[in-house]
Amino acid sequence: MSVVASLLAPVGQVRLPGRPRDERVDRAIVDSTLQLIADVGPSALSMEEVATRAGVSKATLYRRFATKDDLVVAALASLNELLPTELPIGSARDVLVYLIDIWCGGQPDSLSAQLFPRVFAHARSNPRMFGSFYDNVLEPRRDVVRGAIRRGIARGEFRSDTDIELLTTLLIAPSVYTAQVRAGGRDCAPQAMAADFVDAVLAGFTISK
């Protein structure tokens, strides 16, 4: 089963005998949902429009998801397919640059750069959806960054008393903020790339040789 198919499988549901689920349908549902989130945001998105764009019946959609929030979070979680399953070889700094570059979504017009501002904007109006988004989408990304920091501490690249949670947040927050601003057509850090954010933050945690 692919990552997308596993995300779309309802939690706790036992698969019955019969024809296996068509992963092309799963992919169409995910792609349609992500595009609608980028276009109109999670609140304005409708199950009917997702079904229409995906070329499936509403019954097919509701067999996979009981609520719109479940659909939105599962579709967003599919973005975790881009996360590395193992940390790349290299210094902690180089690995973090690589990870933050993934987090930033590359270019302002990338899908994640369009999606995340939409979801963050609904954090207060839909805390249940945002909480699920945080647990299923943001936490896996934070955990990969934590792994790189722990490896840097173990290798003596960072101070032994480094606050892992604080450093993780300091690395991610500026890049996410900048990506959101750039998605809106402005640039609060002209020409700054992932390496610039990482180097600025790590200056306070790196052990001088």
The CA-to-CA distance between both ends of the chain, in Å, stands at 48
Q: What is the pLDDT of residues 21-76, one digit of tens each?
A: 678 999 999 999 999 998 898 989 999 999 999 999 999 999 999 999 999 999 98
Helix (H, G, I), strand (E, B) or coil at 32: helix
pLDDT in tens, 124-146: 998 988 998 899 888 998 999 99
Report the alpha-carbon distance of residue 190 to residue 204 in Å, rounded: 23
Neighbours of 152 (CB within 10 A): 24
Other CB atoms within 10 Å distance of the CB of residue 119: 21
In the structure, what pLDDT confidence band is assigned to residue 85 with cuts at 50, 70 and 90? confident
Mean pLDDT, the chain, whole residue set: 83
Q: Strand pairing partners for 206? A: 158
**pTM, full prediction:** 0.78
* CA distance linking residue 172 with residue 12, whole number of Å: 33
Residue 8: what pLDDT? 44
Best CA proximity match to 117, nearest among 184, 70, 169, 189: 184
Rounded to an integer, what distance in angstroms lies between the CA atom of residue 33 and that of residue 25? 12
pLDDT at site 65 = 92
Distance of CA 194 to the CA centre of its chain: 16
pLDDT tens digit sequence for 147-174: 999 999 999 999 999 999 999 999 998 8
Using the predicted structure, report yes or no on whether residue 187 has a pLDDT greater than 90.
no
**Residue 158 DSSP class:** B
What's the confidence (pLDDT) of residue 106?
Answer: 52
Bridge partners of residue 158, in order along the sequence = 206
Is 191:202 a contact under the CB 8 Å cutoff? Answer: no
Instruction: Give the model's pLDDT for residue 19.
Output: 40
Burial 47-79, CB ≥16 within 10 A → b, else e? eeebbeebebeeeebeebbeebbbbbbbbbbbb
Count of C-beta atoms within a 10 Å radius of residue 17: 4
The confidence score (pLDDT) of residue 15 equals: 37
Three-class SS of residue 10? coil
Give the separation between CA 129 and CA 72, rounded to whole angstroms: 8
